[in-house]
Each structure stands twice: as structure tokens, then as C-alpha cells.
Chain A
């Protein structure tokens, strides 16, 4: 136990990240069930507005800052040194610091629930002036700001660490252009984090100053500007969605290639598109502010549309990888396919709302709620499960049950689509987001009912996953070091790997060292 708490080994820290994020995931998922229960039928009074507002604020905050993004970071922590043949991260103690800052930050945010007046209730965006007056005056809001600032600092430190590791700590023969796509995506993510997170910490600092010392940064009566907060927030917020998706693009690429038993199709295209997405994502933030009338809608619209191009390249490459493969429909592969189907819908609705006139209709309605859940929930979350099924044997030396895993996938896939597909139609019918109740007009009752039922199916799928982990741990069936015929370096070491990852490193002479060793091409 003490060993875990004081460990600086990247594998332990990676696993700590994963366990912590999965714990927050359960909490945030429970909040989602509360939200869906309240919205199950019109005029429901299960949660009052104040409890509901805290629930959706914490749900969004936790899923974004404490689950999806840090899971990607934790996975990168575990995998990047293994994939490039390094014994550990560049700065192991900094790495441990990052993790503990993150864990304390997350608990601080949830600690708001114990505050007088309750947790933060101004949404995950905490727009001013709302977060400075009325709804946002309680200590819960302060804990939210401070907690997320810790998380943001932790994320920046990890990004530096990952970047230095990938650039300087590669094994002999592991050139940049031989790195697995997952590692490449992590490099792009790290660059993005370094650009996007500092403005967030600035915004939070200004918010704290405004709240407690009369800073008036965002207060128009003193020459401040509430739109300034939105600029700072979304300058972080849009890149953040790519921080939440790029590592998972990497996961899907590895899983699809491994289970299609083919090399990655369009490796160079994959790398270029990752950086194209990262680059473009820095220039689209104000598409979240089209309806403020305070930004250049044509410019931000054009750049937002453009992001679809490199994203499309990724799809071509995944499909190309599957084409003429010998596809093994393992649980991880099913989750990766689920990712593609869901993320596709998120991408297409994303292109629609990149058009300002359409955004005037969709903005802040359930249409948007549907859009981003298809990217982060149907996308990243499905890839998260793909990653767990894929690398679990490497991390723990045991395999997760495939039969139960496929049931989890089926429940999650059906449940996810039942929950979120109706939301697009709710939006078209005129349901705004962040409302705790809605009138019984049109098909809102029906659509919301389906959505709530879907969320219960998802919950069963998630529960089954944890049962699977438990049962697999009890059975503890040993697995070979490379159970999937993977090609990257991590599959050449034992499962779980030794403290410094490799006893001997093979000669690395290509992108697929494990295959080279197996075919006798490398010693």
C-alpha cells in the first residue's frame, strides 16, 4: 500500500490514474443517472432545481476533467515508456506529483458537496457573471475553481513529462517515425495541453480575484467584460475536446491494426492528421460563442469546418486498415468499431453546428448535448473500454473475460444510442439544455423516457464490466506476454512488465518490433 502511495514508477502511476479515473467515472455516472431520473418525465419533482443544477455541473466537470482526459493521460503514462523502450518517464518524481495534484484536485471539486449551499452549480463552463453572483457565490464554487486549477497544473506538468520522454528517451533504433500511433497521438496531445491549459488557469485566477477581491475583470459596470472569460475558457475548452479524443484515436488505431492483423494503413497520414487536428483546434474556440455576436463568425466557422478534413483522413485510415484484414472481433475490437460508428455521428453533427446559422438553432439545446456525448461518450468512452480490454493483460498478467466483455459492449452500445440519439430530436423540438424540467409538449415525454431507459441499460453494461474485472481477477488465468499478436514494443516484455520495463531490448529496425522478432527478422 505505502509502496503504491510513494511510487514514482510510471506503470504504478499509470494504474493509479486509471483506477482513480474509473472511480470518478462511477461517481459521474451516478450523477448522470440522477439527471436522467429527474428528466424521465415532464414535471418531475424528484430533484429540485438546485440539486439538479449541482448534479449536471459535477457530472460534466467530472467526466471532462477527472475521467476522460486524465484516463488518456494515465494510459499514456503507462504505455509511452513501454512503446518507445524507455525504462521510465523522464521525470518520475514530477510524474508522481502530477498524479497526486490531480487526485487532490478531483476530491476538492467533489468536496464542494459538503460546503454550505452545496457544490458548484454553474455548469462545467462556470460562465460569468453567473459564477460570480447569484448561483455562484458559495464555497462550492471556490472549491470547484481551486480543485480544477490543481488538475490543470497537474496536466501541464504531465504534458511536459510525456513530451520530454517521447522525444529524448526513445530506445536505440526507435526513431520518431517508428513510434506507434498511440505515442504519436500522445505527443500531439501534450503539445496541445501546453498551449491550451495556461489560459484556463489564468481564467480561474481572474475568477477568484473577481470573486474575493473585487477584480472586476469580467464585470461590465466597471469596464470588465464577461465575454473575455468565454474567450479564455474556450481557448482552453475547444483544444480540451481534442485532448480528450487524440489519445483515444491512438487507442483505436492500435486496436484496429492489431485485430485486423495488418500494419496501420496510412501511418504518415495518421501522424500528420493528428498534428493538423491539434493545430486547427487552437483556432476554432469561438465557435462556442457564435451566438454572443462578439466574435468573427465567418472565420471561426471556416476553421471549424476544416477540422473535418483531418478527422476524415483518420476514418479512411481505420477503414483502410480493416480492408482485407483478418479481423478478429474481440471485445476490444468491438469497442473500437463502436467508437467509429458513434464518433462518426458526433463528427457529422459537429460539422452541422460549425455553420453559424445552424448553430443559432442548435446552440445550448439538446442537439448540442447529443453532439458532444457522441464524441466524448460514444467516442472516447468506448475507446477507453477498448483500451482496458486490450492492455489489461499487459498491465496485470490476466485477461478480462471475453464473453462478459461482449455483453458489456452490446449493453453499452445499445444503451448509449438509446440515451443520446433521442436528444438530437429533443433539441429540434425546442428543449434547451440544463433545464431541470420541461413541459409535456410534442414528443418530449416519449423521447426523454427512451433516453432515461437507455441510461439504465448503459449502467448495467458498466456494472457488468466491473463484475468482469472482479471475476477475472479471482480466476486469474495467466496469459502469454503477447496474447493478441500485437506488434509494438510493449508486447515484447513480460506481463506485467518488470520494474524497468525490459530486461533486454531487441534490435528495433521498423515500426513493428514484436512482429520482426517473431518472424526472425530481428534478434
Chain B
């Protein structure tokens, strides 16, 4: 017990706020002003893509909010961290000072604490208000949407549906397209686990929750091709659940949509099966199919049947679908998948197959004897 040195209530160290307090404060303030000017006016696109050219009206709102908060956030950081470091240095106990010296005993300063509570509260109320205004526009839109489309999350791709288009567009094989200048509403949901639709440049994301449909509203304002990613961890291939978003003029968009419709209307197989390349198909098979299929007789099953004699097997004259083993019917299985007594054959979206991939695989499979 005896070692505790009695604290001597004596004032030691610097008087006033501390040496150089005011010049230091001015320096911090200048730093803040420079930072604010940078944030507000410098083209910081290398930090955040789209910084000086927001691609939608909401992205502009959100970036405004972000810049406003960054300026205040930096100021708070600067002063608080600045004074912590400053006091730690100017009020440090000097080597020669006796162990018992204590600081000036100040128990509290109710006035300071009062203002320090009130001023941030007011600031935060303002921030809340600004945030809610922007949120409201995102959630409910600013007028009737000119285009309402759907995004459906799957393990591990996004499916896009457009009004009037039979069939869907898939993120592995095509980009999502949006027209400039038209208010759009995107409805988002999921077919399996929770995913999250995110396009960094439009600054928005929305969870795709099974059983729940939610929406985002905005108007694209600038053309370009942007990334789309799933940002909610959704399983083993979450990292590669990515795609593209094309924002283009309304004309180009209409043309694209018309082409999609034509393709869908053209019927069963718009896939150019005749142009399949068996060698590419072989490489692709090793990559995407060999986990489930062996190049062996039908009965050598892994998950699915062996595929070596698909078109020429007296024991199994038809495909598992019961159809004759023609190119078209094989392509049908690769495109739509098939679930029968053996198990589930994934569809093209799950396997990540483009039209050309399917053509190549079919060419390869029929080349086997």
C-alpha cells in the first residue's frame, strides 16, 4: 500500500489551452478547407468510379450526400484526432518531473458537454432529413415508371425479365440493358437463397430475398457499360456471380429489346447448332460437365449418366427425356436442364452456357462414337 505516491494538487505544465493551441487549430482548419474543396470540386474518379459523372439521377443525389458527409466526417476526424494527439504531446509528463505530479483536477464542464451534445444532435437531425428525402425517391420513384423490369437472383446468376419479352435475359450470356432518360423501376427477388443486386456506378443495391419483391427507382442519365455483382454471400460461387449493365439511348435500347423478342419468337432453337465446334466442345466438357458425366457407357454414372454413346446406344435408344437423340433434342436438355429418376441436370444458366457453348458441346457429344 505504501508505494502509492500521494498526488499533489499542483498545476504543472503549460498554462491556458497549451502552447501553440491556436496556430495548431488554424492549421487544422486550413486542412479541413483544403479537403472540403478537394471533395467538392476535384475529379476523384480514380477513387470512386463515376465521381464526376453520375450515371443516374439518384446516383447524383447519393454522391451529393456522400460528399457532404465526407466533408463533415473529415472535419470531425481532424479536430478530434488532432486534439488527442496534440494533448498527448503537449501535456505529456516531462522526464524530470516527480512521479507524484498530477494534472489539473477538472471534474467536468457541463456547458461544454451540453453544447457538445446539442450541436452534433442538430447536425445529425439534418443528416437524417437529407437521407430520408433521397431514400424516399429511391424507394417510391419520382413519377410513374416508363419501364418496369425484374431481376431474379439464382445461384449463381441474375435473370432479367422485360415487359413483352417471352423468356428471360441471363447475366452470364447477356448484359442487363436500360434506356437513358426513362424513369425505370427494378423489381428484385430471388429464386433460391438471398442474393443482392448491386451495380456500383448506380450506387444502389437491393437484397434479392426469396418470397419478397422490392424495388429501386431511378432514371439513367449517361451511357456506358458498368459492372453488376452479387454482394450478398450466397454460396460457393458467390465471387463469380457478376455481370454487366449497359445504359444506352432509348433508340438503341428499343432495338436491343426488339432483337430479344425476335429471338424468343423465332422458337425452339435460335442456337446455331450447325456452327458447333467439337474441339471447343471437348475442352468445355472437361471444364463444366466432367464433374457429373463420364465419357463412358450410359451405366457408368457419376451424378449423371455416361455420355459416350449418346446417339448410338441400342440399350438406350432415346434420351432421358424420351426423345430421339437428335442434335436439337440434346441441345434442349443442355438449354433447359432435365430432372428425371437419375437426378437433376442443371440448365444453361446454372452451367453458364452461351449459345455458342451449347452448339460446341452438342457438336462434341454427337462426334463421340
Is there contact, CB below 8 Å, between A226 and B211?
A: yes
Q: Do A127 and B205 contact each other (CB < 8 Å), given the known contacts A327-B92, A520-B6?
A: no
Residues of A within 8 A of B76 (CB): 344, 348
Interface size on A, residues (CB 8 A): 102
Interface residues of B in 1-46 (CB under 8 A from A): 1, 3-7, 11-14, 18, 46
Which one of B1, B49, B80, B107 lies within 8 Å of A517 (CB-CB)? B1
Any A CB within 8 A of the CB of B52: no
Q: Smallest Cβ distance from A358 to chain B, in angstroms? A: 6
User: Helix, strand, loop or mixed for chain B's interface?
Assistant: mixed
CB-defined contacts of A93 to chain B, threshold 8 Å: none
What is the CB-to-nearest-CB distance from B45 to chain A, in angstroms, rounded to a whole number? 10
Once the chains are docked, how many angstroms separate the CA of A293 from the CA of B3? 61
Interface membership of A268, Cβ < 8 A: yes
7 smallest A-B Cβ distances: which pairs? A220-B211, A293-B214, A325-B103, A430-B200, A518-B4, A480-B3, A355-B131
Chain A interface main SS type: helix
Decide if A171 is an interface residue (CB 8 Å cutoff). Answer: no
CB of A462 within 8 A of chain B?
no
Q: Is A397 an interface residue (CB 8 A)?
A: no
Task: State whether A291 touches B65 (Cβ < 8 A).
Answer: no
Contact indicator A356/B131 (Cβ below 8 Å): yes
A460 in the interface (beta carbon within 8 A) = no
In the complex, chain B residues whose CB is within 8 Å of the CB of A434: 233, 238
Is there contact, CB below 8 Å, between A435 and B239?
Answer: yes
| A226 with B209, Cβ < 8 A, contacts A308-B124, A320-B109 known | yes
Quick check: B84 and A337 within 8 Å, CB to CB?
A: yes
Q: Which residues of A contact B210 (CB under 8 A)?
A: 129, 220-221, 226
Name the A residues within 8 Å of B93 (CB-CB): 261, 326-328
Would B69 and A355 count as touching, CB distance under 8 A?
A: yes
Residue-wise, chain A 237-276 has the 8 Å CB interface mask toward B (1 for contact) of 0000000000000000000000011110111110000000
Please state if B113 and A316 are interface contacts (CB–CB under 8 Å). Answer: yes
B359 at the interface (CB under 8 A from A): no
Chain B interfacial positions (CB closer than 8 Å to A): 1, 3-7, 11-14, 18, 46-49, 58, 61-62, 65-66, 69-70, 73, 76-77, 80-81, 83-85, 87-88, 91-93, 97, 99-109, 112-113, 116-117, 120-121, 124-125, 127-128, 130-132, 134-135, 138-139, 155, 192-194, 196, 198, 200, 203-207, 209-212, 214-215, 227, 229-240
What B residues does A227 contact at CB under 8 A? 209, 212
Q: Does A262 contact B124, Cβ atoms closer than 8 Å? A: no
Question: Are A351 and B73 touching (Cβ within 8 A)?
Answer: yes
Asked if A437 lies at the interface with its beta carbon under 8 angstroms from chain B, I say yes
Q: Tell me if A337 and B211 are in contact (CB < 8 A).
A: no
- Whether A305 contacts B128 in the complex (CB less than 8 A), given A293-B207, A312-B120, A327-B92, comes out as yes
Residues of A within 8 A of B83 (CB): 319
Q: Does A375 contact B (CB under 8 A)?
A: no
CB-CB under 8 A for A292 and B207, given A266-B109, A325-B91: yes
Partner of B236, one of A53, A297, A429: A53
A309: interface (CB < 8 Å): yes
B108 touches A268 (CB 8 A): yes
Distance in angstroms from B71 CB to nearest chain A CB is: 11
- Inter-subunit contact B215/A49 (CB<8 Å): no
Q: A7 in the interface, Cβ–Cβ < 8 Å?
A: no
The chain A residue sitting closest to B195, CB to CB, is A130
CB-defined A-B contacts under 8 Å, sample of 11: A50-B236, A130-B235, A226-B194, A292-B207, A293-B206, A308-B124, A319-B80, A319-B84, A337-B85, A351-B124, A360-B206
7 more A-B residue pairs beyond the given contacts A127-B193, A129-B194, A324-B91, with a C-beta to C-beta distance below 8 A: A262-B105, A294-B209, A355-B128, A481-B3, A482-B4, A514-B4, A519-B7
Is A482 touching B3 in the complex (CB atoms < 8 A)?
A: yes
Which residue in B139, B229, B232, B236 is a CB contact (below 8 Å) of A49? B236
By a CB distance below 8 angstroms, the chain B residues around A435 are 238-239
Whole-angstrom distance between the alpha carbons of A436 and B238 in the complex?
9
- Contact assessment for A344 and B214 in the assembled complex, using a CB-CB cutoff below 8 Å: no
Residues of B within 8 Å of A351, CB to CB, are 69, 73, 124, 127
Residue in chain A with minimal CB distance to B226 = A430
Query: With A and B bound together, what is the CA distance between A231 and B205 in angstroms?
Result: 20
Contact across chains for A361 and B204 when beta carbons are under 8 A apart: yes
Closest residue on chain B to residue A342 by CB atoms: B81
Q: Which residue of B lies closest to A347 (CB)?
A: B76
Question: In the complex, what residues of A have CB within 8 A of residue B134's CB?
Answer: 356-357
Encoded as 1 (CB less than 8 Å from any B CB) or 0, chain A from 335 to 379 comes to 001001100110011011011111011011100000000000000
**Contacts A327-B93, A515-B4; is A432 near B230 (CB within 8 Å)?**
yes
